[in-house]
Amino acid sequence: MTLSTPARIVVVALVTASIVVPTVARAPRAAPAECRVIEDFSEGPVGALPPGWKLRKDDAKDVYRVSNEGGRRFLHASSQRMGVQAGKEYKWNLEEYPVLAWSWRPVQFPAGADERQSRHNDSALAVYAVFPYSRFAVKSLKYIWSERVPRGTHLVGNHGLTQVIVLDSGTLRGKGWIDQRVNVLEDYRKYFGSGDPQPAGIAVLTDSDDTRSSAQGDYANFRVCRR
């Protein structure tokens, strides 16, 4: 999705032999915004999938829903033995806005989950920055909140196409919202190598299919920022 650009206002000074029009100073150009909103969940009805978001499978239509709590809008995810992403297309200049920011909070961790083990690879919270790769696949940086895996752990999935970084770990901090900021450009070059990455969008995943259990988590206030 591309944000609209404000129309430029052109000031024309008219001078005639009998009328003198004072010079009109141009207003200084506004500095580019420090952050640009990807999604604040302010549009669309509570209890429905937010506009512009898509699911990888139709049978997950009840997993992700807009919620409201004390005037704060957010995306609530409730997964019952399922593992389906919800994503939003959003292209941005990563050189100009390298930082992806959001808020999240875990509600229920999948029972017995451990992202280091393929048979137990479920997470209460996961956020993806997605990049085009081929006609049938994408590259992605996946940021997770794990119940067991230590913070700072780096994992690899999907034959190297998914690079996983554990941002938060454990349940002690799971009492409220936590703000996160990651430098997507730095992480991309660290794990995928040099290049000119062009993000295609973001995605979230609250999954519990491998553990055959339940998981819940909340997401809010997605933005891209200069620093």
Rounded Cα distance between 24 and 125, Å, is 54
Q: Which stretches does DSSP call E strand in the chain?
A: 35-39, 53-55, 64-69, 72-80, 86-89, 99-108, 125-132, 138-146, 154-157, 162-169, 178-183, 201-204, 214-225
* pLDDT, tens digit, 9 for 90 and up, residues 25-82: 454 454 568 999 999 999 989 999 999 999 988 777 889 999 999 999 999 999 999 9
Residue 138 above 70 pLDDT?
Answer: yes
Query: 56 and 85 in contact (C-beta within 8 Å)?
Result: yes
* pLDDT, tens digit, 9 for 90 and up, residues 174-219: 578 999 999 999 999 999 998 889 999 999 999 999 999 999 999 9
CA 190 to chain centre: 19
What domains appear along the chain, each with residue ranges and CATH number? 35-225 (2.60.120.260)
Rounded Cα distance between 208 and 215, Å, is 6
Which residues on adjacent β-strands are paired with residue 169? 146
What confidence tier does 113 reach under pLDDT thresholds 50, 70, 90?
very high
In this prediction the pTM is: 0.85
| One-letter identity of residue 105 | R
| One-letter identity of residue 81 | R
pLDDT of 163 reads 98
